[in-house]
Amino acid sequence: MPTDFSEAPEFRGVVALDGPSGTGKSTVAKLLARRLRTQYLDTGAMYRAATVAVLRAGVDLEDPVAVATEVAASRIDVGTDPWRRSIQLDGRDVEREIRTAATTAAVSAVSAVQAVRTQLVAQQRLIIGRAPTVAEGRDIGSVVWPDAELKVYLTAREEVRARRRAGELGDEDLNRVIQSLRRRDDFDSSRAASPLRRPDGSTEVDTSELTIDEVVELLASLAFQAVSTADRA
């Protein structure tokens, strides 16, 4: 049963939530959006939908021009309701397909293409510009919306991240998951286009020893403090 946040005050601003996989980012972002009564934007789902388009077309992942051309020809629609996750590719729901192992294995290559990022970042900025938002990803505070009222970089110890990720994937081989996380981190941190990094002016939150509810309440408090400080300035 969803937690009732109907009595919570409204937050008028943008929370940029960045960080690597396994930090609880997606769950925290959705619950925080409910807590703050804002729209929720999962930018990772958009890159995954783009990856589905590329895989369906049989495009060579090492051909950035072909990858960008295929993504440009696709229509990606992401829902912003924090109570109901939704992602469509050319009018069809692809929520399950974007979570497959094949998509996960290819998404870093697709998201590293500058033309793909340029297209999706423009779309993300339009969405955020419509209303107060909690947006999650890997470059929200650094590229997509650097003027966010609150910028947070979530992190966690490697073994904690691996256990969480293994639980999501149903993979009992923890060492395999750790190696996968390391490859993804290295790729995302070293890519030329919008590399994963802690945004300037962001607050780092280590979620290793915190429950989801504790992280959400901490971030909600920081969000309201940020808006209050901005109003007084």
In a domain, 25, yes or no: yes
Q: Is residue 22 part of a domain?
A: yes
Tell me the whole-structure pTM to 2 decimals.
Answer: 0.87
In a domain, 49, yes or no: yes
pLDDT tens profile 64-91: 999 999 999 999 999 999 999 999 999 9
What is the residue range of 110's domain? 14-223
Among candidates 78, 156, 62, 151, which has minimal Cα distance to 112?
62
- 2 in a domain, yes or no? no
Query: Are 103 and 52 in contact, with CB atoms under 8 Å apart?
Result: yes
Is residue 84 packed enough to be buried (19+ CB in 10 Å), middle (13-18) or exposed (0-12)? Answer: exposed
Residue 228 lies in a domain: no
Domain-embedded: residue 230: no
The verdict on residue 75 lying in a domain is: yes
What six digits make up the tokens of 193?
């286009």
Query: How many domains does the structure of the chain reveal?
Result: 1
Cα–Cα distance for residue pair 168/224, rounded to 1 Å:
31
Rounded to the nearest angstrom, the gap between the alpha carbon of residue 20 and the centroid of all alpha carbons in its chain is 9
CATH number at residue 103: 3.40.50.300
pLDDT, tens digit, 9 for 90 and up, residues 102-132: 998 899 999 999 999 999 999 999 999 999 9
